[in-house]
């Protein structure tokens, strides 16, 4: 599972503080802007302080990460790689840099590079080129033939014909999701055939099932449905071979035996394509909480498959931020205290609670499905039985949230939506720390708290289950953010700090998150529903005491919180009720809360939020370029690894296309 900046409480960090940029910043966070995208860069603080061994380990894991890039491009769409080669050839040789066609081409080129293909990374809709076919044709005619020459009809259709392969992932109910999705995870098969095929493989009595279809493309040979496996010697062999080579080099610098075993088992899986091996690797990985350097490398998240089976290739190399991880460790150590003192009815509490292993990490490289758009938090492995038996690792990627936060400074958001200077100052001083703490409390303690009464079906809340679950974890975090316990255990230094998160949470839940909803639509996504549920419920139940107030200033709507302590009381009250609903499986109460508070949007307020947000020109989507790592050698021996931050966006894309492209080359 991944926590994205669009689907979590951390959305708020996106627009954290709008202090006027007081001092000129030495580090330029914003790298490029185009279409609906802003490209940022991130720092890797602490890299210089790692041992030479750890730096070498990171270097080779980083190489293993970059060599997988082509896999994702091909998974996303069958012509993506050849289209990229052609676009790059045109981009680097085109001559009329002042024409409208060139400007439109440049925008399209940057969009495709960002999305790892010709479909938008988030909406999965195909990009619409604003340059002419004739312009592209003319520029292709000037360059030598390439792999695209053989496919020119298909490529022009793919780029210019809006009816061809319009959506990468189609989730529309009632349609054949396989046939109508443009991704390259299935070819020449229908949804019914795929479902039939997997149903025949699955054994309902298997309590440790492999993740069927995770590393395969499904197609037909001689009329029979078959899986083509991604492995050395199989599909994507050239890329996977380069990944394995670099994992082998990395292994020489492993921090300890456990880590060496993890790398060895990943290599075994890449060589065999055997999903049992992947489970073995995942277990070793989940159980290693001692190593400082860590990495994800493989076919992991299945959001790109409308059936949720095949994993998109990704890699993130990272190391533990020891100082910041202290936060999550202290919370985990005190997990029982938090459980015992929560405002929840005693029968719904866990007699024995265990904090989830959670840490704060520094990303060193982002690759595949995690690049350039990247999650801010990750919780893996995904296999449920492994999570239950061997635990999972939950991480917050703090150098990424920090970069979002820095880049948002001065974007005008707080001036537009926050009611007064005092509140803006509060957010400036305390939102970053309280927002991170909110995520820690939510992940480490919130989800793990409470228990079901005996005999209650865990799926009793059905379609409302995930909204209620996220509501529960958020309320647990909100309630405790204001507790003196956090000061006592040294995680906050000011008893008023929590007000920053409270204000932003309510503002977001009542108003600003509406910027992500199209006019006339309801709130659908579970995290957005949960925030709306909490904010609207607190507004309504604090109405008589005027706890939260809508204020009009010059025709604009603002939120004022008049009584923060009372608001905390309301959060506690709602937490008790939500836990009761969860513990007893009270579906009717869940449905009632969700439908009353979480779904319907006030059209007038919605219009106002959209209009005000539009004046700020904040790009809705963001992503990152990676730093550049270089080996420093003396007499043939590695003496250091350096990190630098000066590469531009297209520069990086073109370099990756040239140097890390094992599936397109020669
Ligand atoms: Zn959650």
pLDDT in tens, 173-217: 789 999 999 999 999 999 999 999 999 999 989 989 999 999 999
For residue 445, the CA-to-ligand 1 centroid distance in Å is 10
Q: What was the pLDDT predicted at 607?
A: 97
Ligand 1 geometric centre to CA of 579 (Å): 15
User: If you measure from the C-alpha of residue 665 to the centroid of ligand 1, how many angstroms do you get, rounded to a whole number?
Assistant: 42
Q: What's the first-to-final CA gap in the chain, in angstroms? A: 36
User: Residue 214 Cα, ligand 1 centroid: separation in angstroms?
Assistant: 24
Q: SS3 string of 462-511? A: HHHHHHHHHHHHHHHHHHHHCCCHHHHCCCCCCCCCHHHHHHHHHHHHHC
Average the pLDDT over each of 261-265, 427-431, 461-465 and give the range with the smallest value.
461-465
Tell me the percentage of the chain whose pLDDT exceeds 70.
Answer: 95
Distance 290 CA to ligand 1 centre (A): 25
What letter does residue 446 receive in the DSSP assignment? I
Q: Among 246-255, 317-326, 437-446, 478-487, which is the least confidently predicted range?
A: 437-446
Mean pLDDT of 37-60: 97
DSSP states along 533-595: HHHHHHHHHTTTTT-EEEEEETTEEEEEES-HHHHHHHHHHHHHHHHHHHHHT-HHHHHHHHH
Q: Indicate whether 6 pLDDT > 50.
A: no
Compute, in angstroms, the gap from residue 416 CA to the centroid of ligand 1: 29
pLDDT for the residue numbered 393: 85
Query: How many angstroms does the Cα of residue 438 sit away from the middle of ligand 1?
Result: 11
Beta bridge partners of 623: 39
**Band of residue 102 on the pLDDT scale cut at 50, 70, 90:** very high
State in Å: Cα 467 to ligand 1 middle. Answer: 9
CA 465 to centroid of ligand 1, rounded, Å: 12
> What sign does the CA torsion over 402, 407, 408, 409 have?
positive
Q: Ligand 1 centroid to 101 CA: how many Å?
A: 45
Measured CA to CA in angstroms, residue 284 lies from 209, 258, 270, 383, 393 at distances of 17, 8, 16, 13, 12
Residue 219 bridge partners (DSSP): 226
What is the DSSP code (8-state) at residue 397?
E
Q: Greater confidence, 265 or 333?
A: 265
pLDDT tens for 323-379 read: 889 998 899 889 999 999 999 999 999 988 765 677 899 999 999 999 999 988 888
Q: What is the model's pTM?
A: 0.84
How many A from CA of 455 to the centre of ligand 1?
24
Compute, in angstroms, the gap from residue 533 CA to the centroid of ligand 1.
15
- Whole-number pLDDT of residue 552: 97
């Amino acid at each position: 599972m991944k926590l994205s900046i669009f689907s979590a409480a951390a959305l708020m960090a996106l627009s954290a503080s709008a202090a006027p940029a007081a001092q000129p910043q030495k580090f330029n966070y914003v790298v490029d802007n185009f279409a609906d995208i802003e490209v940022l860069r991130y720092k890797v603080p602490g890299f210089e302080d790692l041992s030479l061994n750890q730096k070498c380990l990171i270097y080779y894991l980083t190489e293993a990460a970059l060599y997988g890039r082509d896999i994702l491009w091909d998974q996303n769409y069958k012509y993506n790689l050849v289209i990229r080669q052609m676009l790059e050839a045109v981009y680097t040789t085109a001559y009329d840099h002042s024409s409208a066609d060139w400007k439109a081409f440049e925008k399209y080129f940057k969009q495709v590079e960002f999305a790892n293909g010709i479909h938008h990374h988030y909406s999965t809709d195909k990009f619409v080129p604003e340059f002419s076919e004739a312009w592209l044709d003319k520029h292709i005619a000037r360059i030598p033939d390439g792999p695209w020459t053989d496919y020119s009809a298909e490529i022009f259709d793919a780029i210019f014909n809006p009816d061809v392969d319009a959506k990468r992932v189609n989730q529309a109910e009632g349609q054949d999701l396989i046939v109508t999705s443009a991704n390259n995870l299935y070819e020449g098969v229908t949804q019914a055939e795929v479902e039939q095929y997997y149903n025949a493989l699955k054994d309902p009595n298997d309590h440790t099932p492999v993740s069927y279809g995770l590393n395969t493309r499904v197609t037909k040979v001689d009329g029979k449905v078959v899986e083509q496996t991604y492995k050395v010697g199989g599909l994507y062999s050239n890329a996977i071979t380069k990944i394995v080579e670099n994992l082998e080099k990395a292994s020489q610098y492993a921090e300890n035996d456990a880590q060496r075993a993890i790398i060895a088992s990943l290599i075994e899986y890449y060589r065999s394509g055997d999903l049992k091996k992947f489970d073995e690797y995942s277990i070793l990985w989940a159980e290693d909480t001692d190593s400082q350097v860590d990495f994800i490398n493989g076919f992991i998240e299945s959001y790109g498959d409308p059936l949720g089976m095949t994993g998109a290739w990704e890699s993130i190399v990272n190391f533990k931020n020891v100082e910041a991880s202290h936060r999550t460790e202290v919370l985990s150590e005190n997990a029982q205290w938090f459980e015992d003192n929560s405002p929840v009815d005693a029968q719904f509490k866990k007699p024995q609670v265990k904090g989830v292993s959670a840490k704060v990490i520094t990303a060193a490289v982002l690759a595949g499905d995690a690049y350039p758009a990247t999650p801010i938090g990750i919780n893996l492995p995904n296999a449920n039985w492994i999570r239950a038996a061997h635990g999972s690792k939950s991480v917050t990627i703090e150098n990424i949230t920090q970069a979002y936060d820095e880049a948002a400074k001065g974007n005008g958001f707080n001036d537009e939506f926050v009611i007064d200077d005092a509140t803006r100052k509060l957010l400036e001083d305390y939102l970053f720390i309280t927002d991170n703490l909110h995520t820690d409390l939510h992940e480490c303690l919130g989800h793990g708290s409470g228990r079901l009464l005996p005999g209650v079906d865990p799926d009793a809340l059905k379609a409302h289950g995930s909204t209620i679950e996220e509501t529960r974890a958020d309320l647990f975090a909100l309630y405790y953010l204001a507790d003196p316990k956090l000061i006592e255990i040294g995680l906050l230094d000011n008893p008023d700090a929590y007000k920053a998160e409270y204000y932003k949470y309510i503002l977001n839940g009542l108003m600003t998150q509406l910027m992500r909803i199209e006019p006339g639509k309801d709130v659908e996504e579970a995290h957005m529903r949960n925030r709306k549920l909490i904010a609207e419920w607190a507004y309504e139940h604090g109405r008589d005491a005027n706890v939260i107030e809508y204020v009009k200033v010059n025709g604009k709507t603002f939120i004022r919180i008049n009584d923060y302590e009372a608001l905390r009381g309301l959060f506690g009250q709602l937490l008790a009720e939500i836990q009761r609903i969860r513990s007893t499986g009270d579906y009717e109460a869940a449905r009632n809360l969700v439908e009353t508070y979480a779904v319907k949007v006030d059209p007038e307020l919605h219009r106002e939020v959209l209009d005000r947000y539009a004046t700020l020109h904040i790009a809705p989507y963001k992503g990152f370029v990676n730093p550049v790592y270089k080996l420093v050698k003396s007499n043939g021996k590695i003496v250091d690894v350096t990190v630098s931050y000066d590469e531009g966006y297209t520069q990086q894309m073109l370099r990756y296309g040239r140097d890390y492209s094992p599936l397109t080359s020669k």
